[in-house]
Amino acid sequence: MLVRRVPGFVPASPWGLRLPQKFLFLLFLSGLVTLCFGALFLLPHSSRLKRFFSASRTQQPGLEVMAEIAGQHPVSEQEPPPNPAPAAPAPGEDDPGRAVNVLRRKGWLRRTRPTGPREEGNSVAAPRPLEESVRFSFDYNAFRSRLRHPVLGTRTDESKESQSLVRAQREKVKEMMRFAWQNYRRYAMGKNELRPLTKDGYEGSMFGGLSGATIIDSLDTLYLMELKEEFQEAKAWVQDSFHLNVSGEASLFEVNIRYIGGLLSAFYLTGEEVFRVKAIKLGEKLLPAFNTPTGIPKGIVNFKSGTWGWATAGSSSILAEFGSLHLEFLHLTELSGNPVFAEKVKNIRKVLREIDKPFGLYPNFLSPVSGNWVQHHVSVGGLGDSFYEYLIKSWLMSAKTDTEAKNMYYEALEAIETYLVNVSPGGLTYIAEWRGGILDHKMGHLACFSGGMIALGAEDAKEDKKAHYRELAAQITRTCHESYARSDTKLGPEAFWFNSGREAVATQLSESYYILRPEVVESYMYLWRQTHDPIYREWGWEVVMALEKHCRTEAGFSGIQDVYSSNPNHDNRQQSFFLAETLKYLYLLFSEDNMLSPEDWVFNTEAHPLPVNHSDSSSMTGHRH
């Protein structure tokens, strides 16, 4: 308060001073204040005092920690963008950016704990980060030492005749990935997706101005397939061109599973610090979506205002969206030391655990204001799917300590089997949709992931249920294969019905399209790993051949508009999830089981591998009961 009062008018009467005396007193006092403040900014080790006195606004909890992860200090929102990166920056160079929302690269971000000797760059050496200011570190070497299998698995004797066909099939999938990537790089680099017919890029509005969705979705697939040159191209783009200073409205769900998931996976596979820091910074930008009366997030977040999207101000939140944050947000806390991410998803879990559920089922829509279900529509396909997936995967990712997730999963699966699972007159097992007690006898392509999910969870079911769930998983996967086999293209429709004597086929053109979706081959991969029944590799190869025949174009892969046409039209979109999921699951189907071993990794719903928590000291054990 003294600083504010001194420049003001001081009345003479209380002190009885004359004008010359007052002038001398004020002059002395001003000099004293200047000396004191100068000492604060000039004395050694005063950086924390400087941040305190020069802060232009109130910072959110944890943001200073985030800013220091890369060995940097928070800076003003008004700081101009940094200059382009030098050709060969030195590892350890600081990455100045905006304090909260933007992290732009000026040089290589150093690892908190380097895994090898420090390299020398060609540019002028950057200032050494203030290591004493780093409040949290992630020991990457210790993490890698806890993995029980090599990330890329072990190689079998390739001279064996039985392996030669599988190796050729795997190499074919790798060639498809290279082709998809090279055309994206040539015609759409930096855009969200490639349009192969018009040979240009597509941005869309789903990501709030974020770019490069295909790049970030492809990082771990390129690494897994050992496409080293292509991976370096992708990494360089993230370092140089992936900026977070965007101001649009974004889907919380899509940004989380594609961008956050892709960056987290890339960090865990490589240890490159740039992926970790950008994942955390982007995660911070999603936090305003949780500012609701219940803590259930809205589906849309406005990156500019930090509020909900205006379009969803009165709408419900979708189960599959707010229920598919748990894996990524626990890892954001693991890598940042900031508990806020884990706290947000723990609260979602609490709300869902305590709310009444009709017949044990989880409806698809919930009010983030009242915390009540909005309507009783239940689906294991779109709107509900990945919520159930994240329950069983939370159990597995916790090294089987999150018993709450395990119990919620098996209770939900029992209700699904009781009320939704049906068998058609032709003997096909399917999962119907439930609308207030009335069944729609259809199954979406998105629901075909459930065969793999049920197979994945069968191992930890009650002893008398294990074989039953394995058989259920196999029967559902067979039904989804039939939806492919009964089309002219041998690719499956968006949705298929079981009525009027027609089974596993779409009944209208609006449901007959195929957009390079992965769910069916995802289930093939899980069933192959569990049973080693060669039928799953045969079915997977049928998909490869169908993709090559009907979806490959001169400049990339495209979805098709009608799977029942022998000469279908293309939709001119190479979806980013085709590179993240479809091709990755096909590659794993023709690889050894310990490549990304399930003992070490779980896949998020965009097929980005996240590590199982093998450390008792980890913050990810927060759900033990």
- For residues 190 and 525, give the distance between their C-alpha atoms in angstroms, rounded to a whole number: 31
- Residue with the bigger pLDDT between 10 and 607: it is 607
Domain boundaries, the chain: 163-611
Whether 254 sits among the annotated catalytic residues: the reply is: yes
pLDDT, residue 238, reads: 98
Question: What residue type is assigned to position 36 of the chain?
Answer: C
The answer on pLDDT for 235 being more than 70 is: yes
What was the pLDDT predicted at 80? 35
Over range 28-48, report the average pLDDT. Answer: 48
| CB-based contact 409:458 (threshold 8 Å) | no
Q: What is the pLDDT of residues 513-530, one digit of tens each?
A: 999 999 999 999 999 999
In this structure, the dihedral spanned by the alpha carbons of residues 23, 28, 32 and 35, taken in order and rounded to 10 degrees, is 100
305 — pLDDT class (breaks 50, 70, 90): confident
Closest CA to 583 of 487, 517, 495, 494: 517
Count of CA atoms in the C-beta half-sphere (13 A) of 120: 0
The rounded Cα 306 to chain-centroid distance in angstroms is 20
CA dist 4 and 559 (Å) reads 66
Neighbours of 5 (CB within 10 A): 9
Which stretch of 23-27, 44-48, 256-260, 478-482 has the lowest confidence by average pLDDT? 44-48
Q: What percent of the chain has pLDDT over 70?
A: 74
Cα–Cα distance for residue pair 488/562, rounded to 1 Å: 9
Which residues make beta-bridge pairs with 499? 502
| CB neighbours of residue 164 within 10 Å | 11
**Residue 501: what pLDDT?**
87
Residue 422: phi, psi to the nearest 5? -135, 165
pLDDT average, residue stretch 17-39: 57
pLDDT in tens, 593-618: 999 999 999 999 999 999 999 875 34
Of 20 and 255, the one with more pLDDT: 255
Confidence of residue 162 (pLDDT cuts 50, 70, 90): low
Token digits of residue 510: 């609006």
| Whole-number pLDDT of residue 49 | 29
Predicted local distance difference test score (pLDDT) of residue 27:
66
Q: What are phi and psi of 69, to 5 degrees?
A: -60, -40
The backbone region for 430, taken as left when phi is positive above 0, alpha when psi lies in -120 to 50, beta otherwise, is beta
Active site residue 385: yes
163-611 sits in which CATH class? Answer: mainly alpha
Q: Residues 424, 488: contact at Cβ < 8 Å?
A: no
pLDDT band of 19, cuts 50, 70, 90:
low
Give the integer Cα–Cα distance in Å for 380 and 362.
Answer: 10
pLDDT for 615 equals 79
CB-count exposure of residue 617 (10 Å: 0-12, 13-18, 19+): exposed
Evaluate the CA torsion angle 24, 27, 33, 34 in order and state its sign: negative
Residues making up the binding site for Ca(2+): 605
Q: What is the pTM of this model?
A: 0.78
At 34, the pLDDT band (50, 70, 90 cuts) reads low
Q: State the CB neighbour count (10 A cutoff) for residue 525.
A: 25
Query: For residue 294, how far is the Cα from the chain centroid?
Result: 23
* Nearest of 301, 195, 218 to residue 254 by alpha carbon: 301
Which DSSP string corresponds to 246-279? --SEEEHHHIIIIIIHHHHHHHHHH--HHHHHHH
Task: Examine the pLDDT at 335 and tell me if it is beyond 70.
Answer: yes
Nearest to 392 by CA among 467, 334, 342, 459: 459
Residues facing 200 on adjacent strands:
195
Dist CA 595 CA 588 (whole Å): 7
- pLDDT(106) > 60: no
Bridge partner residues of 602 (DSSP): 610
Q: How confident is the model at residue 432 (pLDDT cuts 50, 70, 90)?
A: very high
- From the DSSP assignment, how many helices (H) and strands (E) are in the chain? 22, 20
Residues 6+ apart with CB under 8 A from 284: 60, 62, 63, 66, 100, 101
Phi, psi of 227 (to 5 degrees): -90, 80
HEC string of 131-173 equals HHHCCCCCCHHHHHHHCCCCCCCCCCCCCCHHHHHHHHHHHHH
pLDDT reported for residue 558 = 98
pLDDT band at 35 (very low <50, low <70, confident <90, very high): low
Closest CA to 390 of 473, 325, 298: 325
* Mean pLDDT rounded to a whole number for the chain: 82
Q: How far apart are CA 301 and CA 250, in angstroms?
A: 5
Residue type for position 123: S
Determine which of 18-22, 74-78, 345-349, 418-422 has the lowest per-residue pLDDT on average: 74-78
Do the Cβ atoms of 520 and 448 come closer than 8 Å? yes
| Distance (Å, whole) CA 488 – CA 546 | 10
E-assigned strand segments in 181-302: 193-195, 200-202, 249-251, 300-302
Q: Distance (Å, rounded) from C-alpha 9 to C-alpha 406?
A: 70
What was the pLDDT predicted at 317?
A: 98
- pLDDT value of position 137: 82
Secondary structure of residue 144 in the 3-state scheme: helix
d(CA 605, CA 328): 10
Which structure tokens are listed for 616?
Answer: 């008792």
Q: Which parts are annotated binding residues? A: 605
Least confident of 102-106, 299-303, 465-469: 102-106
Distance CA 304, CA 393 (A): 33
